[in-house]
Structure 1
């Protein structure tokens, strides 16, 4: 009997449903950390950094501080996860406060970082941070409130110290009006006008000349730490010792008074009084005058006479072939009439026949004929200069500008900045030279001023070393030597300051000489030689008004 086989066919079993991979976001138990948990599954939807951030925003955690490295790690692990895992990807952060102090402790700055899901900055938080840095003074309340309102700040000042106010140095105040100072004053164009020189200012014996204004102590400051910053008191001013014709008032040492009647003059750290002599005339009856002060002559100065003075010379009449030598101004209400002609190389006879004037500042007269005049500043002549030699460090002006009056006929007129007249030359063709833009006197004075400044600066360095040595070894030096060194130090400072001022003034004058010019207001005749900065221009034909100047290394008339 045949045996039967049967195939057993098993019916397929039903597969379990696919499991989708899950991402869960939640805060830690303390509510400060953002945790991301992944449960792996067989179905994984596309997942990248953008998708992750969208999910974080969707679940309300977008305001938290997210850790970029942790986010990237989560995306990477998500794709290959085979087991559950949890990562810390963010955190709750409160607003941060950082305090910085200036090196001088006069300013405190605050930088505030905004919160990430945490609490915003508060006034108490800012003040607490400042107190931790020991800031106790100068709080800027409005600035702090503004920071609290905006919630952020970058190095914004929130505390400011009170600056120290150092004391002001004492000073010497002049009590005399219209005191002449022995140096020129320039206008905006750099030209000084000494046409109206005025009269001589005089004082009576015992009259107050200057007042010493005391120095102030100043006001202390305070930094933001509440520390006091002491003020530096001002330096007291003092009258110079042995002022000529002046002394400290024995009744009140704050005042300087005139010891004698005379002319007051400003000097370094005080005022001197120069005596004044008044004469009707200078002739053989008076003899030559050699005087330390100012000379007033109501009448004339006769031929052959000489006047030498450290102050001014004022002449009410005329000056003949005489010699005037003044440390200050020479003012002649009339004019000068020499008896000879100007020559390039005069012999003794011709030299004695012309008038000669030398003054430290300015010269003024109505007319000048056959004279040699050399001044440290400006020459002003009202009407006429004839056959004379004029040399001025600053300018020469003949005739009131704009009046059409004032002539230069023959001779030489030399100035650094300006020569101006209505008419230069003459119809008869008398040779006339006008020179501007060069001044060897200024260069020499500038060299001397620089030399003096250098020498005194070296002396000052040595005195400073001596004072330092005395301070380091007080037991080895007598007190009188220390006092002498300190007095020398102050005296040198005064000399150096004066030399520096002189040097600056001379440098300014030399710079102005670049723009030197010759101005003819009305008529320029032939046979006139114009020299500017070493360049020469001959005038052959008569011309009308115009100005000579140097342009592109050539003299032009326009």
Structure 2
């Protein structure tokens, strides 16, 4: 075994998941007099170095049989990574929906994927908690167990007009209405419906529930909803703001005016010269043209033509399209990673946590003062008793505010760590004059590429085959 240890070395990565066989630096006269190493000797040497799991015997055999073709270094063992547990989450129940078809030109469009309006009755099940999973431990090449990270649990809370079952696992509607889904909350809102276009007769719309418009929203008008906004026609240079998601059937043609803002997702057929700000994902069927889009999740433009041309698009988790840019080399800027809006929201949440914590501390001191007075046998005055009840109620509300802010902040930080930079995928062609930016790294496309994926690898934007 002496000859083997003099010729070879085993390098194990810091995490213990990969072992690599390397050749030591030797003098020329040692190379001329060395004896051939057998497969058995090399496998025994690997074992003696403590590598006992995931040994790639075929790699060793191939190297011994043909060292010229299979030159060193070679990976001779790989560990099994742990499988982390899945987070608990709130799953909306599949409900009866209103589905329609509309004729655009000579083409009949099935709106099932764009307009999906879940309607519920009082007492209907609207969501249920899917429990977190424990995950599966892994093993490194040294035969040591690698602990997995268990999935994070959540406590579901009632949204607007919903109640939780006694076991804390199901959510039921308290009213007849339409469902609006957030990440950890499901609301049932009443619905305000406009049976046609928004115009001078309807005026601007602001509603605490969901809004459905069975026509167009022209330039200069605004529609605001606490829940979702669903529009069966076209949106021009209007202002739309939804606490939930926005669904636009016939597309958005904004002419560089107006603003579209959704707390959750935006689903539409096309986006042309629009300003879009979405907290969740942006789903576009045909094209995004010369628009400014800031997205907290992922941009999907993969159905139909799936074209992104011009403008500036920012997405925290990734962008997926069929084509990006065009043969005219229109300037198109893509930004992937944590955007400024997300950073600002994180700062706001941090401030909200501090404010709620400070307020809670003051309230608890005041409550303790009342308790100490009563313990000393001093009766509280009528106004003090009222104040004590108010303090208790305020403490409950402040604790809930603090918990909500902490959970949202934890999720944001966790998502930032898990998805610091996503990927850009192009199913067909990406054209010249498209710039791709991952954080502080930027790459400008100078020639067409097809069927490719862009990712940030070791501080460099790599172009990888699909």
Query: Is the aligned partner of 1:323 residue 2:234?
Result: no
Three-state SS of the structure 2 residue aligned to 1:302 is coil
User: In 2 relative to 1, CA 304–417 (structure 1 residues): closer, same or farther, beyond 3 Å?
Assistant: same
Distance in 2 (alpha carbons) for counterparts of 1:419 and 1:501: 27
Which residue, out of 256, 274, 278, partners 2:193? 278
Output aligned runs, 1:221-232, within 5 Å.
Answer: none
Which residue, out of 412, 425, 431, partners 1:525? 431
1:326-352 superposed Cα distances (whole Å, 9 cap, x missing partner): 2221101221223x3xxxxxxxxxx5x
Task: Compute the displacement of 1:386 (Å).
Answer: 1.4
Query: Is the aligned partner of 1:367 residue 2:270?
Result: yes
1:414-473 superposed Cα distances (whole Å, 9 cap, x missing partner): 111101101111011111111111311111111111111112112222233333333333
Query: Is the aligned partner of 1:508 residue 2:414?
Result: yes
Task: Compute the displacement of 1:316 (Å).
Answer: 1.3
Contact 1:210 1:271 in 2 (8 A): no
1:115-159 superposed Cα distances (whole Å, 9 cap, x missing partner): xxxxxxxxxxxxxxxxxxxxxxxxxxxxxxxxxxxxxxxxxxxxx
1:295-351 superposed Cα distances (whole Å, 9 cap, x missing partner): 10122223333222222110112222322222221101221223x3xxxxxxxxxx5
Contact 2:115 2:249 in 1 (8 A): no
User: In 2 relative to 1, CA 522–336 (structure 1 residues): closer, same or farther, beyond 3 Å?
Assistant: same
Contact 2:453 2:463 in 1 (8 A): yes
Three-state SS of the structure 2 residue aligned to 1:541 is coil
* Root mean square deviation, CA, Å: 3.6
Give 1:309's aligned residue: 225
User: In 2 relative to 1, CA 428–264 (structure 1 residues): closer, same or farther, beyond 3 Å?
Assistant: closer
Contact 2:114 2:249 in 1 (8 A): no
TM-score (norm 1): 0.51
Task: Compute the displacement of 1:289 (Å).
Answer: 2.0
Task: Compute the displacement of 1:203 (Å).
Answer: 4.7
Distance in 1 (alpha carbons) for counterparts of 2:200 and 2:429: 43
Structure 2 residues not aligned, in runs of 5+ = 1-89, 96-111, 127-154, 164-170
Three-state SS of the structure 1 residue aligned to 2:244 is coil
User: In 2 relative to 1, CA 432–277 (structure 1 residues): closer, same or farther, beyond 3 Å?
Assistant: same
Aligned residues: 317
Output aligned runs, 1:343-422, within 5 Å.
Answer: 351=256, 354=257, 356-400=259-303, 405-422=305-322
Distance in 1 (alpha carbons) for counterparts of 2:124 and 2:258: 37
Contact 1:355 1:370 in 2 (8 A): no
Work out which structure has the larger RCO, using CA pairs closer than 8 Å and 6 or more positions apart in sequence. 2
User: In 2 relative to 1, CA 513–533 (structure 1 residues): closer, same or farther, beyond 3 Å?
Assistant: farther
1:58-105 superposed Cα distances (whole Å, 9 cap, x missing partner): xxxxxxxxxxxxxxxxxxxxxxxxxxxxxxxxxxxxxxxxxxxxxxxx
Contact 1:517 1:532 in 2 (8 A): no
Output aligned runs, 1:135-174, within 5 Å.
Answer: none
Output aligned runs, 1:123-138, within 5 Å.
Answer: none
Task: Compute the displacement of 1:177 (Å).
Answer: 4.5
Give 2:373's aligned residue: 473
Distance in 1 (alpha carbons) for counterparts of 2:417 and 2:388: 43
Which residue, out of 490, 505, 517, partners 2:396? 490
Three-state SS of the structure 2 residue aligned to 1:456 is helix
Output aligned runs, 1:25-44, within 5 Å.
Answer: none
Distance in 2 (alpha carbons) for counterparts of 1:389 and 1:368: 10
Contact 1:431 1:528 in 2 (8 A): yes
User: In 2 relative to 1, CA 271–324 (structure 1 residues): closer, same or farther, beyond 3 Å?
Assistant: closer
Give 2:335's aligned residue: 435
Contact 2:212 2:231 in 1 (8 A): yes
Give 1:555's aligned residue: 461
Distance in 2 (alpha carbons) for counterparts of 1:246 and 1:422: 40
Three-state SS of the structure 2 residue aligned to 1:423 is strand
Larger Rg: 1
Distance in 1 (alpha carbons) for counterparts of 2:241 and 2:120: 24
Contact 1:398 1:407 in 2 (8 A): yes
Query: Is the aligned partner of 1:333 residue 2:254?
Result: no
Distance in 2 (alpha carbons) for counterparts of 1:408 and 1:297: 27
User: In 2 relative to 1, CA 486–314 (structure 1 residues): closer, same or farther, beyond 3 Å?
Assistant: same
Give 2:441's aligned residue: 535
Contact 1:417 1:517 in 2 (8 A): yes
Contact 1:445 1:506 in 2 (8 A): no
Distance in 1 (alpha carbons) for counterparts of 2:302 and 2:173: 41
Give 1:446's aligned residue: 346
Task: Compute the displacement of 1:496 (Å).
Answer: 1.3
User: In 2 relative to 1, CA 456–305 (structure 1 residues): closer, same or farther, beyond 3 Å?
Assistant: closer
Distance in 2 (alpha carbons) for counterparts of 1:441 and 1:315: 26
1:237-284 superposed Cα distances (whole Å, 9 cap, x missing partner): 9x99xx97789xxxxxxx99857x5445689x9986533111122234
User: In 2 relative to 1, CA 527–266 (structure 1 residues): closer, same or farther, beyond 3 Å?
Assistant: closer
User: In 2 relative to 1, CA 270–368 (structure 1 residues): closer, same or farther, beyond 3 Å?
Assistant: closer
1:474-515 superposed Cα distances (whole Å, 9 cap, x missing partner): 133354443333322222221111111111111123223423
Give 1:348's aligned residue: none
1:162-207 superposed Cα distances (whole Å, 9 cap, x missing partner): xxxxxxxxxxxx9x9569xxxxxxxxxxxxxxx9576334455xx3
Distance in 2 (alpha carbons) for counterparts of 1:390 and 1:557: 24
TM-score (norm 2): 0.60
Larger deviation, residues 273-282 vs 469-478 = 469-478
